[in-house]
Chain A
Amino acid sequence: MDMTILQVFNGLSVSSILLLIALGLAVTFGLMNVINMAHGELIMIGAYSTYVTQGLFSAYMPKSWFDTYFIAALLVSFVVAAAVGWLLEMVLIRHLYGRPLDSLLATWGVGMMLQQIARFIFGAPNVAVTSPSWLNGGLAITSSIILPYKRLFIVLLVAVVLTAMYLYIYRTVQGRRMRAVMQNRSMAGCLGISTRRVDGLTFAIGSGIAGIAGCALTLLGPIGPSIGTYYIVDAFMVVVLGGVGKLVGTVVGALGIGVFNTLFETYTSASIGKVLVFACIVAFLQWKPRGLVALRTRSLD
């Protein structure tokens, strides 16, 4: 019984991590239809931003402030990754809209360059980030069911990011412009929306969310130049399974993969669990090629 409760929570926790790494991609790939292979490297940039913030705090701030570094790191990760994303959009991606294969190749190359730059700056070995002390330990529900604070925090963080994204896309003027551009670019342009600016902003937001994901990943394990490649497949799987172009699809996709991954791992092993999940995804996409939540728009036709 305890095992079941714990596994339900673990499934939710794995889902929330998947969702966090896929949310940024849901914007750049899902909404903008740009196959951004450098998405994993934007996650890496977020992770290293956290590492640097932590280093700055322990070097220049009073010791008692150290525990607050993580809040600052979340912000720094978002801003740095968004800035890199914005630059990337301006220099490269802007010229490749509507050419998915070209953007795939170009961003793949950018991804490797970013990895190499990280190796120059931080060295090849992976580094570990010290978690703030208020995230150590866990919430004890019974003696055997302990929910780690870090995972609770990530679940909470995902909820906050998701809400913020929803509010931005559906409740603000910029969000409405963004949806207009994604659905019908030329019509939106005719109505006086600066599509270029909207494109740049949207891509920067997607990248910034990847940065937040990178920041959160430092809580779970070590980080290194190639951390992004470890998560990029999962992120694409979530978005493709969920159905390209719909936020709700991404959420459902992440939940599905996370829960099934945990379920399979419980009854088999870590390696076989992953294989089974991928087998299920392949089978599902045979049956419903457009994913769980299909969207009908002209931009995708």
Chain B
Amino acid sequence: MKKQSVIVKGWASFVLCAILMSGCVTEKETAPTAGAGNGSPPVEAAGDSIKVGILHSLSGTMAISEVSVKDAEMLAIEEINAAGGVLGKQIEPVIEDGASDWPTFAEKAGKLLQQDKVAAVFGGWTSASRKAMLPVFEQNHGLLFYPVQYEGLESSPNIFYTGATTNQQIVPSVSWLLENRGKKMFLLGSDYVFPRTANKIIKAQLTAEGGELAGEEYTPLGHTDFSTIIAKIKEAKPDIVYNTLNGDSNVAFFKQLKDAGITSKDMTTLSVSVAEEEIRGIGADILEGHLAAWNYYQSTDTPENKAFVDKYKAKYGADRVTADPIEAGYTAVYLWKAAVEKAGTTDVNKVKEAAKGIEFAAPEGKVTIDGDNQHIHKTVRIGEVQADGQFKELWNSGEPVKPDPYLKTYDWAKGLSGE
């Protein structure tokens, strides 16, 4: 019986594909899971709810990272609903799958705004997906909460950036590496907008702060053969590999790096897209001793974080881990709630106005929405992977850092933004 339904569904999706020629994979994932596992009593009628969109890659190469961000956002929505909702209304999430495909992100964003008329969308991971969604949100005057660290040099009136911008992650980590680990740096990244822009910034910083560029390599997203690149790294003998690879490529890269006989003792690698969730997929034994720069670790010691980790594990299983973008996704929902309640409405203009200066005691510590650029003030942290897959914090900035997406406060960054 079960098998039959599999076949029937398989055929259905095949026919769909034949008609649409694309996007076949995504349709299936969009079954409305709203209210599933929702702790609140179903007293609220549909008219008394506020719809929000959740738009992440639930399939494809980015699913390894994005599924758990979706889970965290759902957890926050569930908590808020259980506590009475927003403006006395329940939040009704509409989940869509971006399928690791940037055009799909734009298409689904349009669908959420035009058809579902959502008050806000929480979603995206790769910069390519954000860049694809940006014009859709600006044209439809929607509101996007983007939860991942990114390359900066951007500020849209329709996007709230709850992950780090470059001066809250990349720039301080490069300075730290140059002071503590050596001068010769090899840049390795996936071939799209985030790594290329990040590396442009790093190169300018290396010149200004006395570092040396040992090499620069890009691979297509989803690339799995790193033999030649590892040979090039061996040849260049850098002190540090600054890793901006995204998604599954990290699994292949670190596996093959270890097999080629390079460990964290021989060379420092610092990643900006490898967090607890990815360590779980790659294997802690392979990553032990390697570094990553973030604003939050599961091991971050705050009372809010302890409660957050407990709730997350209670809902999704004891073997699950939290990570920076997961925390940023969770925080984003609460920041949106605070802004809506201060504004007293979900009207985009009023919510944006009310959001300025809003503070929230997030798991990572206090965060504040910046009034100038809709990014948030965050603490910077550098951590080392331990044998249990958790991070040991080696350094932090001590206080939340003001976001500076265009790096205007750095002399060496002049001309990078093209302004």
Contact = CB atoms under 8 A, between A and B. Distances in A.
Given A3-B234, A3-B235, A7-B228, A130 B283 contact: yes
B293 to A, nearest CB: 24
Contact of B281 (A10, A149, A222, A270): A222
Contacts of A225: 59
Contacts of A124: 25, 29, 58-60, 63, 97
Interface in A1-37: 2-3, 6-7, 10, 13-14, 17
Contacts of B231: 3, 6-7, 10, 266
Interface string B130-150: 000000000000000000000
Interface residues of B, number: 50
A54 interface: no
Contacts of A6: 231, 234
Interface in B194-242: 217-220, 222-225, 227-229, 231-232, 234-235
B9 A120 contact: yes
A191 B325 CA distance: 68
A147 B282 CA distance: 21
Interface stretch (B165-173, B254-262, B390-398): B254-262
B61 A140 contact: no
A123 B330 CA distance: 24
Contacts of A221: 224, 248-249, 251-252, 255
A150 B218 contact: no
Contacts of B63: 124-126, 224
Interface stretch (A64-72, A85-93, A109-117, A159-167): A109-117
A146 B228 contact: no
A97 B120 CA distance: 54
A281 B67 CA distance: 39
B228 A116 contact: no
Interface in B53-73: 58-61, 63-64, 67
Contact of B256 (A14, A220, A271): A220
A1 to B, nearest CB: 10
A151 B227 contact: yes
Contacts of B222: 230
B14 interface: yes
A253 to B, nearest CB: 18
A98 interface: no
A226 interface: yes
A265 interface: yes
Interface string B318-344: 000000000000000000000000000
Contact of B218 (A138, A149, A270): A270
Given A119-B59, A220-B224, A149 B259 contact: yes
Contact of A109 (B14, B219, B234, B235): B14
B18 to A, nearest CB: 7
A14 B227 contact: yes
A229 B225 CA distance: 16
Nearest to A119: B59
B191 A271 contact: yes
A266 B249 CA distance: 19
A136 interface: yes
A148 interface: yes
B218 A269 contact: yes
Interface in B8-67: 9-11, 13-14, 17-18, 24-25, 28-29, 58-61, 63-64, 67
Given A119-B25, A120-B6, A128 B281 contact: yes
Q: What interface size band does chain A fall in?
A: 35 or more
A271 B259 contact: no
Contacts of B17: 112
Contacts of A7: 228, 231
Nearest to B252: A221
A137 B259 contact: yes
Contacts of A246: none
Contacts of B24: 112
Nearest to B227: A10
A146 B232 CA distance: 14
A128 B283 contact: yes
Contacts of B67: 125
A121 B360 CA distance: 40
B372 to A, nearest CB: 37
Contact of B9 (A14, A116, A230, A274): A116
Given A14-B227, A230-B222, A140 B6 contact: no
Task: Indicate the member of A113, A115, A116, A120 with the most B CB atoms within 10 Å.
Answer: A116
B261 A140 contact: yes
Nearest to B223: A270
Nearest to A13: B227
A144 interface: yes
A262 interface: yes
Nearest to B62: A125
Interface in A58-98: none
Nearest to A264: B228
A126 B227 contact: no
20 contacts: A2-B234, A3-B234, A112-B14, A116-B14, A128-B251, A128-B281, A128-B282, A138-B259, A138-B260, A140-B261, A144-B234, A148-B260, A220-B224, A221-B255, A222-B251, A222-B281, A224-B63, A262-B227, A266-B232, A270-B191
Interface of B: 6-7, 9-11, 13-14, 17-18, 24-25, 28-29, 58-61, 63-64, 67, 97, 191, 217-220, 222-225, 227-229, 231-232, 234-235, 248-249, 251-252, 255-256, 258-261, 281-283
Given A10-B228, A149-B259, A222-B252, 4 more contacts: A10-B227, A17-B225, A120-B6, A131-B255
